[in-house]
Structure 1
Amino acid sequence: MNYLSLENITKTFGDRKILDAISIGVDQGQKIALVGVNGSGKSTLLKIITGVEKQDAGDVVFRNDIAVRSLVQNPKFETNQTVLDAVFDNDDEALRLLNRYQKVMLKAERGDYDDKEMQTVIERIDALNAWDQESQVKQILGKLGLKDLEADVSKLSGGQQKRVAMAQVLIQRPDLLILDEPTNHLDIDSIEWLEGYLSQANMALILVTHDRYFLEKVTNEIVELEQGKLYRYKGDYGHFLEKKAERHESEASSIEKAQNLYRKELDWIRRQPKARGTKAKYRVDAFEETKSKAFSGAKTTGMELGATASRQGKKVLEIEKISHGFGDKKLIDNFSYVFPRKDRVGIVGANGSGKTTFLRLLVGDLEANEGSIDLGQTTKIGYYRQQELRFNDAQTVIEFAKEIAEFVEYGKGQSIPVSQFLTRFLFPPEVQYKPIGKLSGGEKRRLQLLKILIKSPNFLILDEPTNDLDLITLNTLENFLENFEGCLVLVSHDRYFVDKLVDHLFVFDGQGDIRDYNGNYTDWRLEEVAAKDAPKPKIVEKPAAPAPKKEQRKISYKEKLEFDTIEKEMAKLEAQKAVLNEKIIGGSTNHEELTEWATELERINNDLEEKEMRWLELSEYM
């Protein structure tokens, strides 16, 4: 069943054609990842599909009877709107009732219980059979970390607003969902949950993401935008890379043949008498077509970075018993560490656990409440901040770069002009003289990164460097960092990026403890899951004297319904757990498959524990 058809969509900005008569259809259950270099038109295409921007030509046609929802990178909310009202901002009757139910529950928690209103809401939800939806709403809000439902959304951080917007579109259970960088501003736990939710949901999906693990697990087709054209690849990310390489190899061969023919035809054209008007028209037309093909190859298919790190002395950076926090919240407690040369550290932990605070202490933006940080004399720090750099939009790219350096160190004792370095950083000459204000969000992020690398630091601190970068830039940045001779400290929710680049982790627990874990993210995550699944020793306690009997209250109709439902759900979860345990015991050569099983097992165990506690609580009143 077709949900969406794009027919000959064309869009031009100035003299640059971003989308060139592209066509594609999206069917029920199809999950498409849209990829391409920054500035290739991914976000523009999403804006055209969602009606935010108008195409120059072509048609966007949706099936009439489907619900379509979208999540843009910077969602907007009304002033004074609570999280609860924002999440349930919809005309659907069931969602309005669930919003009212949540508000009644919040009032009850404050001691303002209205039994009559509660009974009315429960009866209406019963009539609509919406309790399954209510359970799903609670799960979505919990997994996205939305706890203060009465907070003013307009006063939340950008990351928290993104979570509210995500909850809003998921709760509405659309037939077609459109997401632009959904993993930005989510912590790793939330990303893993969203990954599982979307991969299992019976909906069509179009998304732009730089997260390759997310892309691999959620999507079943990859669509690439390149020089205004659209290329489709059925299958996963690995298949896409293989087929893309084959396409480029084939195109390169065709272009080489066209260039050879072009040289011959050019010689023929030049040898004809200038005054003669009887040149074979078909030869002239064919010459122009050959010329177009001969120079049709992409100007930049990747970037090669070779900036060297400054020479590093014996002493790099030493941390001596530092402690830091804000108010009663202690984020770092008595932590010491000596960085050796070429150290590669990943930093993981929930949002708010102190990761960015730690980075700010390292660079001197903050002074530790206790302890000291001693920087080596030759240590030269390059710090990429999560916050977007403020640019002078009227300044050109080349002017911005030349303010930093005219030449960039390259190799041993060599240097190249900064304009050449820009070209290798996917800023070709025609873009170098473009005002920064006309760059895409991803191109500005790349320019922010360039500002750091151009100074040849020997101690790189990167705070979420993958946000808004395209996959080609990410691949090349990874290659650069793999060969980087200095120290690397990396905070990233991109698990693939962390796995590829770090040797060990600093794990922040949010209570002040920082654990130095020897291994990458996947190693640590598997160990965490295994630890949670390990059987806990039974503690036999001396039976206490029987407490005086309390007057037993009667169970409500809703609680009786919940009790019966929980028993059935627990049985299903136990069956799912048994299947997963069999798979894990049987083993697999696929590392990602093992990770997926372990993550799913953790989720099932957590669900079982919650339901068992609630079952025991309700059973006391039966």
Structure 2
Amino acid sequence: MHYVTVEGLSKSYGEKPLFENISFHIEEGDKIALVALNGSGKSTLLKILTGTEHPDEGKVWIHKDVTVVMLEQSSRHEPGETVLENIFDHDHPILNAIKEYEALTDPDGPEPDAAILSAAVAKMDELGAWHFDSKVKQILGKLNIHHLDQRVDTLSGGQQKRVALAKVLIDIGFEHKHTLLILDEPTNHLDVSMIEWLEHYLDQENVTLLLVTHDRYFLDSVCNEIMEIDNGELYIYKGNYENYLEKKAAREESDRSSTEKARNLYRKELEWMRKQPKARTTKSKSRQDAFYEVKERASKRLEQAQLELNVKMTRLGGKILELKKVYKAYGKLQILKGFDYTFKKGERIGVVGKNGVGKSTFLHMLLGSEQPDSGKINVGDTVVFGNYSQQGLIVKEDMRVIEFVKNIAENFPLADGTKVSAAQFLQLFLFPPEKQYTYISRLSGGEKRRLHLLSILFRNPNFLVLDEPTNDLDLPTLSILEDFLMSYQGCIIIVSHDRYFMDKLVDHLFVFEGEGVVRDFPGNYTQYREWEKDQEKLKEAPKPVETTATPTVAAATPAEQKAKKMSFKEKRELELLEKEIADLEQEKKTLDDQMASGSLPYDQLESAARRIGEVIQLLDDKGMRWLELSEMAG
């Protein structure tokens, strides 16, 4: 079945068009990835397809039986709305029946009236809703959403994103059977196990999908077609990510060849134009028109002409970074338990583990912004940290991109003694000359992330600490960042859920397994997952039957688990946590508003930026403890 036809679509903001005269089709069962540089119009195109934005020119036709469902990068919810109300706000008889049943059986809720519960069960039977209810429970469980009576506005940003994703996945199960699912960066804020589950879910479900993602393994696993917006034009590639890279390289090589031919012709035609008298004949006029066409082809800029940087770094001494018997905990959440490690020159370490186990806290401790409970962290005198945090870009006042970089330094030193100017460095990270004079406030979210990353690298650190560096970055920028880091001679420590990025760059992993245990795994992420699956198989293998003691222990364990209840102290802690989380969310909102106002003096802006980083960390930590206690209560 034919779902969508787009013909001659154009959209501009200001003088430069995002895209011009693009056309494509979406058929039932297509799983398409949309790829483009940040600021090239990906999100705008998605909004046009959903009808929330209109094109300057062109037509969008969507089959009357097709419903478009979209996951946006920022989640939406009503003030005071609970998770249950947010997820089940769609008016559908089966959804309504499940919503009522889930509310009555919520372990955090009051004891339900027997007659009302019986009626709800009968309604589920009548509508045949049990199959859908099990799918709902699977989605909520895999995305770690357990307490449906919690208010959405008390959740952290990552938890809100997971709730929004659950809502979309549940909605498409109850929509009309013909649904176009649009996902804008669905893997942000998901840990790797969640990403792997979502891959499998979308691969198995019979959905028609249009997807924007920076996660190349996810893209490769889910999609069978890639659409790329490049310099305002649309290119379509059938097949996987590897095929896309091969075909794109061939296209760019062809473009270089044709551009070079056009430039040679342009030089000849320019010479002819200059020799012509002012009164031109009709024949001359036609040649003049052709000249302008050749000029346009000849002046086509090929962005792939990139710089190879052999970085000159501050020398690293013999002593880099030492951790001795380091302990760190928040309440009952143990992050490190006697951790020892000595960093060596040129090490590339990936940090992995489930959300909430303390990965970001570990980075803060290395940087000295968080102190251990006990133990020592010794930093060498020659170490210059480059800290790329999730906090984002902080600008004193609105300024142009080139001014922001020049305020750091005019030039970037190379190992051979030469220098690269700020403008050249910006071009390397895909800020062409016209973009360099744009005000930072007018950049897209992804472009601001790219500028933040560039500003860290431009300071020429010798120890990079990267906390989720790939979030909201486009694939072309990721490719450039990877190339830069591959030739980087300093130390790198990375927290990331991007498996492709980790596999390409790290030598070994710190695996945060919980309860303060950190495993030093000698290999990349894919190798670790293969090892982990082998360990799981060994555990699942049948064991020899023991004689007398085993049955007694096996029978006692469930009873012991069932008997375990929350203490009064833990119940009180859970109640206080809910209030503390709500207060922190309000403080975060107030700080966000103050920073966005543009009226704060610079010293207050710095103070607010530091505090908002602390608040985000506290929200994550307290949210993790809340989940831990809530599971005990359930």
TM-score, length of structure 2 as denominator length: 0.83
Give the 3 Å change call, closer, same or farther, for CA 483–208 of structure 1 in structure 2.
Answer: same
Query: Could you tell me which residue of structure 2 aligns to residue 361 of structure 1?
Result: 365
Amino acid across the alignment from 2:106: L
Range that drifts further, 364-373 or 276-285:
276-285
Q: Once the two structures are superposed, what CA deviation does each residue of 1:215-242 show, in whole Å capped at 9, x if it has no partner?
A: 0000000000011111111100011111
Task: State how far apart, in whole Å, the 2-side matches of 1:217 and 1:278 are.
Answer: 58
Instruction: Give, as a single letter, the amino acid of the residue that structure 2 aligns with 1:58.
Output: G
| Cα shift readout 1:277-306 (whole Å, capped 9, x = no counterpart) | 666221111111111111124345656544
- 1:185 matched to 2:189: yes
Cα deviation digits, residues 363-399 of structure 1 (max 9, x gap)? 0110111111000010111110022223356210011
Secondary structure of residue in 1 paired with 2:399: coil
Alignment pair present for 1:427 and 2:431: yes
* Cα contact 1:4–1:26 (8 A) shared by 2: yes
Quote the residue 1:113 is aligned against.
112
* Higher mean C-alpha deviation, range 22-31 or range 527-536: 527-536
Question: Residue 314 of structure 1 corresponds to which residue in structure 2?
Answer: 318
1:457 matched to 2:461? The reply is yes
Matched, 1:206 2:210: yes
1:59 counterpart = 2:59: yes
1:34–1:526 Cα change, 3 Å: same
Q: What's 1:167 paired with?
A: 166
CA distance in 2, matches of 1:45, 1:23: 12
1:541 matched to 2:541? The reply is no
1:144–1:167 contact (8 Å) kept in structure 2: yes
| Distance in structure 1 (CA, Å) of the matches to 2:17 and 2:432 | 17
Q: Pick from 495, 510, 521: which aligns with 2:525?
A: 521
Paired letter, 1:60: V
CA contact (8 A) 1:393 1:437 kept: no
Partner of 1:328: 332
Q: Does the 8 A contact of 1:504 with 1:519 survive in 2?
A: yes
CA deviation profile, 1:321-374 (whole Å, cap 9, x unmatched): 111111222111110100011111100000001100000000011011111100
Which residue is equivalent to 2:31?
31
Tell me which of 267, 270, 284 is aligned to 2:288. 284
Q: Do structure 1's residue 6 and structure 2's residue 6 form an aligned pair?
A: yes
Q: Deviations 1:419-466 (Å, cap 9, x if unpaired)?
A: 221122211221111100111111111110011101111111101000
Pick one of 510, 513, 517 that aligns with 1:509: 513
Kindly provide the amino acid, as one letter, of the partner of residue 537 in structure 1.
K
User: Would you say the 8 A contact 2:465–2:493 is kept in 1?
Assistant: yes
Separation in structure 2 between the aligned mates of residue 21 and residue 390 of structure 1, nearest angstrom: 37
Q: What is the identity, as a one-letter code, of the residue corresponding to 2:123?
A: R
Tell me the CA shift for residue 276 of structure 1. 5.0
Q: CA 1:157 to 1:474, structure 2 compared with 1: closer, same or farther past 3 Å?
A: same
How do residues 7-406 of structure 1 correspond to structure 2 at under 5 angstroms?
7-106=7-106, 112-173=111-172, 175-275=179-279, 280-299=284-303, 304-391=308-395, 394-406=398-410
SS in structure 2 at match of 1:52:
coil
| C-alpha contact 1:305 1:425 (8 A) present in aligned 2 | no
- Would the alpha carbon gap of residues 143 and 218 (structure 1) be closer, same or farther in structure 2, given more than 3 Å must change? same
Query: Counterpart of 1:20 in 2: which secondary structure?
Result: strand
Q: 3-state DSSP class of the match of 1:280?
A: helix
Structure-2 separation of matches of 1:213 and 1:446: 21
Rate the CA distance shift 1:544–1:266 in 2: closer, same or farther, 3 A. closer
- Distance in 2 between residues matched to 1:130 and 1:245, nearest whole Å: 50
Give the distance between the partners of 2:397 and 2:165, measured in 1 at CA. 31
SS, match of residue 514 in structure 2:
coil
Alignment correspondent of 1:588: none
Distance 1:272 1:328, change over 3 A: same
**Corresponding residue for residue 606 of structure 1:** none
Deviation at 1:165, TM superposition (A): 0.3
Distance of aligned partners of 1:306 and 1:93 in 2 relative to their CA distance in 1, 3 Å threshold: farther
How far apart, in 2, do the equivalents of 1:191 and 1:400 lie? 36
Deviation string, structure 1 residues 180-237 (Cα, Å, up to 9, x no partner): 1110110000000001101111010001001000000000000000111111111000
Judged with a 3 Å threshold, the aligned counterparts in structure 2 of structure 1 residues 459 and 12 are, in CA distance, closer, same or farther, namely same
Structure 2 counterpart SS, 1:509: strand
- Which deviates further from its counterpart, 59-68 or 162-171? 59-68
Going from structure 1 to structure 2, the CA distance change for 1:537 and 1:454 (only over 3 Å counts) comes to same
Quote the offset at 1:110 in angstroms: 5.1
Deviations 1:461-505 (A, max 9, x none): 101000111111111111111111011101110001101111111
- The SS at the match of 1:138 is helix
- CA change 1:142–1:276 in 2 (3 A) is closer
Given that residues 72 and 184 in structure 2 are in contact (C-alpha distance below 8 angstroms), is that contact kept between their aligned partners in structure 1?
A: yes
Deviation at 1:414, TM superposition (A): 2.6
Letter of the 1:26 partner, please give it: I
Distance verdict in 2 for CA 1:379–1:426, change over 3 Å: same
Identity %: 50
CA apart distance, 1:510: 2.2
For residues 111 and 248 of structure 2, what CA distance do their matches in structure 1 show? Answer: 62
Could you tell me which residue of structure 1 aligns to residue 598 of structure 2?
A: none
| Corresponding residue number in structure 2 for 1:495 | 499
- Work out the CA distance in 2 between the residues paired with 1:117 and 1:413: 79
SS in 1 for 2:106: helix
Q: Report the alpha carbon displacement of residue 516 of structure 1 after superposing the two structures with TM.
A: 0.6
The residue identity in structure 1 corresponding to 2:64 is: N
TM-score by length of 1: 0.85
Deviation for aligned residue 1:541? 3.3
User: Which of residues 477, 480, 483 in structure 2 aligns to 1:479?
Assistant: 483
Contact 2:9–2:58, Cα closer than 8 Å, also in 1: yes
Give the AA of the match of 1:438. R
Displacement of 1:23 in angstroms is 1.4
Q: Deviations over 1:146-177 (max 9, x none)?
A: 12221110121111111000000000125210
- Separation (CA, whole Å) in 2 of partners of 1:325 and 1:199: 39
**Native 8 Å contact 2:259 2:298 kept in 1:** yes
CA distance in 2, matches of 1:12, 1:217: 33
Q: Are 1:309 and 1:484, in contact at CA under 8 Å, matched by a contact in 2?
A: no
Structure 2 equivalent of residue 466 of structure 1: 470
Q: 1:50 to 1:276 in 2, by over 3 A?
A: closer
TM superposition shift of 1:143: 0.5
- Gaps of at least 5 residues in structure 1 are 548-622
Contact preservation (8 Å) 1:392, 1:437: no
**Structural RMSD (CA):** 1.8
Aligned length: 545
Note if contact 1:37-1:226 (Cα within 8 Å) is conserved in structure 2. Answer: yes
Q: 1:587 aligns to what?
A: none
Greater mean deviation of Cα atoms: 532-541 or 258-267: 532-541
